[in-house]
Structure 1
Amino acid sequence: MQERDGSPPGDPSSGAPTRAEIERIYRTQSRRVLATLIRLLGDFDLAEEALHDAFMAAVQQWPRDGLPANPRAWLVSAGRFKAIDGLRRRARFDASLSLLADELDNQAEPEWERDDLEDDRLRLIFTCCHPALPADAQVALTLREVCDLKTEEIARAFLASPSTVAQRIVRAKQKIRDAAIPYRVPTRDELPARLDSVLRVIYLVFNEGYSASCGSELIRADLSGEAIRLARLLLGLLPDPELMGLLALMLLHDSRRAARTDDAGDLVRLDEQDRSRWNPEQIAEGAALVQRALASRRIGPYTLQAAIVAVHAEAPSAAQTDWSQIVGLYELLLRINPSPVIELNRAVALAMRDGAEAGLELIDELLDRGELRNYHLLHSARADFCRRLGRLPEARDAYRAALALAQLEPEKRFLQQRLDELNGAD
């Protein structure tokens, strides 16, 4: 039985760890420890407090006693018993806490070799992305609890105030507690629908980093990097073909990061990018994942999007891009995932294959339907097609419409530059 000071038993390994080693263990193990503590204690806030107390105890005891043989097990046990002791101390103000402490104390000691300990990370991801939570709360809670981003970092990334993000996280935890949302991996029957929610959250995080929705910077590498890290973690625990497709899609997009802006931070179009600055390791890894996902024959929208980006990535130059293959992939994507944005992307690909007139016809159909009337990229694409066809007054009007709708400063500068070029052509 563990001592009541929160120090688990066991022979410490030889040598006292340095503060840097303890910090490394925190970086690599804290989210795993937290996930297990949430399962054992049944409460996010209690588990976070227990995690903090466990590492405080480690900082005090490990330099003196040596590194435990299993630091993660030590930290979970320390956190669990620190939480129980804390509940007993507070029980004099709330009798229900004494009952909770007794209940936790009567639980069997965790068995460190069970698969449950790895599954705890999956449980945490699926709980944070539960469809009963609002979408913005899913994103905030995932970044906070799974990725260990601070509230201020999440707020900066999504241009929200720290208090707003904190409220989202608090409300999400309350919803999980009050609605008794189960802390578990979905069953096989539930998994497809639940996995969709997780993948959507990961891709939302990536997109906000890859191409911010507004603000002064086009790219937030820290956010896109967190999304890739999260997808890698999930794929290591759950080898699903569509998850492979999503990771491939993010890697292939991210491989172009260094070439997407110039030294002034201005946008560089895909066909004008210096392909020698693309990351070949990410392209190779992404392409291999696409092939694995396609070979499974369980092909979803993320895999098809990744296949499209792979065609771009593997073309030696913009002029050598296989636009026929890209058009075909977009047509298949539209069949399984109808979307006006995908229709717009197909129109751009069709214009590259068959000429601007063919693309403009589809763009005008989308405009008439009205679904993307307030989407700046639709007007930007129309402006480009009209410019290529010599219909300059229409091109100017479309660039002005796109400029009025754009929120991101680099995109605004790009559109203004195109408009100035047209005005100068007179």
Structure 2
Amino acid sequence: MTVTFDDILAARDRIAGQVDRTPARHSRKLSRLTGAEVWVKFDNLHFTGSFKERGALNRLLQLTPDERRRGVVAASAGNHAQALAYHGGRLGIPVTIVMPEGTPFVKADGTRAHGAAVVIKGLDFSGSTEEARRLRDEEGFVFVSAFDDAGIVAGQGVCGLEFMEDVPELEALVVPIGGGGLIAGTAIAARGLKPSIRIFGVEAAMYPSFLARRRGETPRCGGQTIAEGIAIKAVGDLPFALADPLVEEVLIVDEADFEKGVAFLATLEKTVAEGAGAGGLAALLAYPDRFRGLRVGIELTGGNIDARMLAVVLNRELVREKRLIVYRILGDDRPGMLSKMSAVIGGLGGNIIDVVHNRLALDVPAKGAEFDIMVETRGEAHAIEIRHQLEEAGYALRMG
């Protein structure tokens, strides 16, 4: 199997009018943040919230009448699942999805809402794939890989066509890598329109399967990542063969940068990204020297993040920026102590969010108490100012 530029053009014609053409916009705020000239492709605006719709629909439209009747089965952490479920429902094609244990509720519920049968099986994507293939063999379904399929890759390549047509001045594209379908299709399409375009991939540090295969190493993958959409232990054979010659460099990104990417897209760009969807921005934050001054396109692949996790990420970013800080103060356990501490903090404009008393810690005197005071500040300088003022007032701070 292979996928050519003409295959991607055919996929674009096949799915035309059935999948949104998402906007690509220049971001002055992200450009200022990263030092690159940044354009964002907002694939979180698809009806199902991710880029997966193009590939899923293209593959479904290539099924024979008999295959449509039998229905399809797939393994997915959520975005491929929702795309297949939605377009399968539109086309009257039965869809069964196998999801790993621990899949975010928003993705499982979204898949069911589109009419698919959902099976939770497998500790990870590999386990779910094994179960999906078992169902294929027993039930006669057509197995549709999330990435290792020519129809899927060709459909995903339409993203690259749209991006380069809308922003032909781009010098580089930064694309998250899970199974590899998106980067393979995007690279073929982008190079077909502009041979000089530079292609960079992004992998989570816990799941560097593409880079390991490129180096001829056995990938060491595992662990809980916020970028679960690209938490794939083995890149697809077809996508790797197609993308490897076209990808200039694969950048490994740590969890903190994925979190920052999600937070900055929310606070600066006013848009919601899931962990994997923020991979392009995370790479720009982690490797600023690679992209400084370049005209760079980042593919915001999806926005299907659990609301609780989004809240956690945003609060953790406040902690990183010292805009949310805990002062642990050792003091006497007598009336008025907390009032005096509050007066110092409030007098400098700090906003007390929470207070916890600890009277049972054995390293605290029996007549003393430990106070954990969570304070909202204006930033690191303000947090330091409050700390110094507390110390000058005679309070012993253990941490801050």
What TM-score does the superposition give when structure 2 sets the normalisation length? 0.27
| Higher helix residue share | 1
Q: Relative contact order, CA 8 A, sep 6+: which one is greater?
A: 2
| Greater C-alpha Rg | 1
What TM-score does the superposition give when structure 1 sets the normalisation length? 0.26
